[in-house]
Amino acid sequence: MSNDMTTNVRTVCDPNCHANPKCGIAASVHNGRIIAVAPADYPVPGYENRICMMGRARLEYQYHAERLRKPLKRIGARGAGQWQEISWQEAIALFVEKQKEITEKYGSRAVLFHQISGAYGLLTRGSPLRYAALTGASAVRASGIDYGIARGLQYAFGVDAATFFKSGGHSLNDAVNSELTIIWGGNPAVTRSVDHVALKKARKAGTHLVCIDPVKSETAGISDEWISIRPGSDGALALAMANQIIEQKLYDESFLLEYSNMPFLVNVETGRLLKEPASELAFCGPYQLQDGSQARVTTVFNLVADMVSEFDASSAEKITGVDAATLVTLARRYAHASPAAIRIGYGVDRWYNADLTARSISMLACLCGHIGIPGGGVSLVSGGRRVPVKGARFYAPERKSPNFLSMMEADQAVTEGTPHTIKMECISLGNPYNQVKPNRNKVLTDYIQKLEFIAVIDHFMTDTAKWADIVLPAASIFERTDIIVDEFIQLQQPVVDPEGEAKSDFEIFRALAEAFGIGDYFHKSAEEYIDDMLDTDSPVLEAVNMARLKVEKVIYPWPAQAPYVGFEDKVFPTDSGRIEIYKEDLIELDRELPFYREPIEASPLNPLFKQFPLVLLSSHSRYRIHSTFANLDLVKTREPEPVVRVHPADAHEREIEEGQLVEVFNARGRVKIRCCVDGSMRKGCVLIREGHWIDQFIEGDPYGLTHDQYSPTTENYAHYDVLVEMKGTAENT
């Protein structure tokens, strides 16, 4: 694309930042090169000047000297950094040769496509799934990280965890309708920097904002109240609040009777639910079963009341570290608020028992009837409308699907050969060998060694790409055609020609399909496949197509602009059609109710606590999306090196001073890092922001400190449920 004039072209930034909508970018192009980026316009008001520092960093990202521009083949040992440039023809031929070889030897399922969350274009994300489906390969489905809270919310409300509860939550601009909003384990002032202004506006309008977080985060700083809690004890706090609400009869009885399974009868001996609800919440006594026999029954409500009775304010204070008076005040304020909202962040997600925490928080909202009303609800950060595009028409051709595995199942398939063997992995849209997969030292010594072939599609030689056998250069957001769908439908269009020989993920998988002999399934253009996905009978998408998108660039398809409210119709996609507090199918796992369970590792009750008495927390940086952007100079000037934050008392106990080099360690690994003594930390915790690349640490890395234990009901790795110790080193520089 060559042009002597400067033109402005609209596209959209689409990293895993949870912004809703994703930020439009106006790129200024001169002589075929982008010279500036700025926020783009939207067709409705309220989204002006919508761009964060990372969006502005896209210019450096685009032309970075280390960007991959040609296919590379490993010629030395894995991880040694010895590469040879090869042609695309050679790269595609090698990939297909290895895939066919492994398929013949182990079966088609032995090839795994691992596309994570580095981009949200429907074609970009769908291309590896389409190819995997057509070749009978395996693919990783949503799970493994950021999934525990979503799973817990699914148990309660029935919304598929893979949607991350978007349809069940409330948009952030609904916060202005809340009398009280609790931000529970999240830091949207950093992680949702373009959206959190809605919380500021709500606070100015009178919303009482409470932040529950072990650390005094940036969000705590803009809140009316910060409640510091012992990490991993959030479920106990929720149950203690429920205890106050039930004891003081502050619950909404009519809501519970009509919309929850709280009045359902439970056979006391078997734990099984009877299908008919009682007419009163507290029913208990003998009951004649359908076969004529007698059984003692009670209601779910009674079981809940018994469960939370153990969590009086003083007992909960000992568990959570939250002052009893503060707990009582919060419970009453939540019950009396008209209405109240809870927005759960991912800080309470990466724990072994995250699903139980989500269920206990959901129970609070259910008890008080704060569901399906403006200003109320439970959200996983936020919610939003679902534009009814037919993405499956592309990624599931002829209703074929890959052999889907959870992240944990896929990891076991590689390391243990169960449920089947995996010997080849193709990774796109992510950097899992950095901070995603737990126990990184085990990943390097076991997982990677058992793979016969690794292919990576990326923009840079990441910590994952370094271990690949072949690396393919991907097109950037400025070089590909796609659509991004959230509150809006936005066109991602080529702004400039690709750098070097980079190709879009769609083009890469189309070339692979052609070489594999299934090119007929990738014969349409990107625009034609997008039109297929937009061609539905929904009135929302009437007259929405590529032709219109190419003219308007961004479309708001909804008839009115109003805050999104989940479950306004009080229809819940559960088996009972109600909010389900009691889950009969989890009896064998001892999780039929949202019981409180101590963290699997990061607990003072754990014998390991004497040896490793600090909880290792990890938070997001204002300047990165996980590991994306970590290699940019713009980021490095603002965050020059990784640091570990520690409370002054913990530093003093270990004779550690500000700026000193320290070692953080446990039995699994160690990292040498500079110390920041920080009064905003909670005593007993240390915090290292995630996403730094491995070579940015002095020695070791924090990702090797995490373990790979996971609960069968969360399908989530517990990256925060980790104990460590810290000691000073003799080095100061």
Interval 239-257: pLDDT, tens: 999 999 999 999 999 999 9
Residue 465 has pLDDT above 70, yes or no: yes
- Region 387-412: what's the mean pLDDT? 95
User: Mean pLDDT across the stretch 486-501?
Assistant: 97
* DSSP β-ladder status, 403-405 and 378-380: unpaired
CA distances from 665 to 573, 612, 705, 728 (A): 45, 8, 7, 11
**What mean pLDDT is reported for the chain?**
95
For residues 411 and 400, what is the distance between their CA atoms, to the nearest angstrom? 23
Q: pLDDT class for 367, splitting at 50, 70, 90?
A: very high
Residue-level length of the chain: 733
State mean pLDDT over 354-374. 98
Binned at pLDDT 50, 70 and 90, residue 1 comes out as: very low
Question: How many Å apart are CA 363 and CA 246, to the nearest integer?
Answer: 11
Sheet containing 554-555: order of strands: 482-485, 489-492, 554-555
pLDDT, tens only, 182-208:
999 999 999 888 888 899 999 999 999
Section 107-120 average pLDDT: 93
User: Alpha carbon 562 to chain centroid distance?
Assistant: 26
Local confidence band at 3 (pLDDT 50, 70, 90 cut-offs): low
**Mean pLDDT to the nearest integer, 410-421:** 97
Model confidence at 291: pLDDT above 80: no
**Predicted confidence band of residue 286 (pLDDT cuts 50, 70, 90):** confident
Mean pLDDT of 584-591: 97
Q: How many CB atoms lie within 10 A of CB 634?
A: 15
The rounded distance, in Å, linking the Cα atoms of 404 and 677 is 45
pTM of the model: 0.96
Sign of CA dihedral 653, 701, 690, 442: negative
46 confidence band (pLDDT: 50, 70, 90): confident
Higher-scoring residue by pLDDT: 193, 371: 371
The DSSP bridge pattern shows strands 111-115 and 138-140 to be: parallel
Range with lowest mean pLDDT among 2-16, 167-181, 323-337, 609-623 = 2-16
Containing 243, the helix (H) or strand (E) segment is: helix 234-247
C-alpha span between 671 and 727 (Å, rounded): 11
The two three-digit tokens of residue 694, written as one number: 């491995």
Cα 457 to Cα 505: distance, rounded to the nearest angstrom: 8
Cα–Cα dist 450/427, whole Å: 16
Give dist(CA 121, CA 13) in Å, integer.
Answer: 10
pLDDT band at 733 (very low <50, low <70, confident <90, very high): low
Confidence of residue 642 (pLDDT cuts 50, 70, 90): very high
Find the range with the poorest average confidence among 99-108, 289-298, 656-665, 683-692. 289-298
Cβ–Cβ under 8 Å, residues 261 and 300: yes
Residue 484 has pLDDT above 80, yes or no: yes
Instruction: Give yes or no for residue 389 having a pLDDT over 60.
Output: yes
The alpha carbons of the chain give a radius of gyration, in whole angstroms, of: 26
User: What domains appear along the chain, each with residue ranges and CATH number?
Assistant: 72-141+406-479+499-538 (3.40.50.740), 148-385+569-586 (3.40.228.10), 607-728 (2.40.40.20)
Residue 732: pLDDT band with limits 50, 70, 90: low
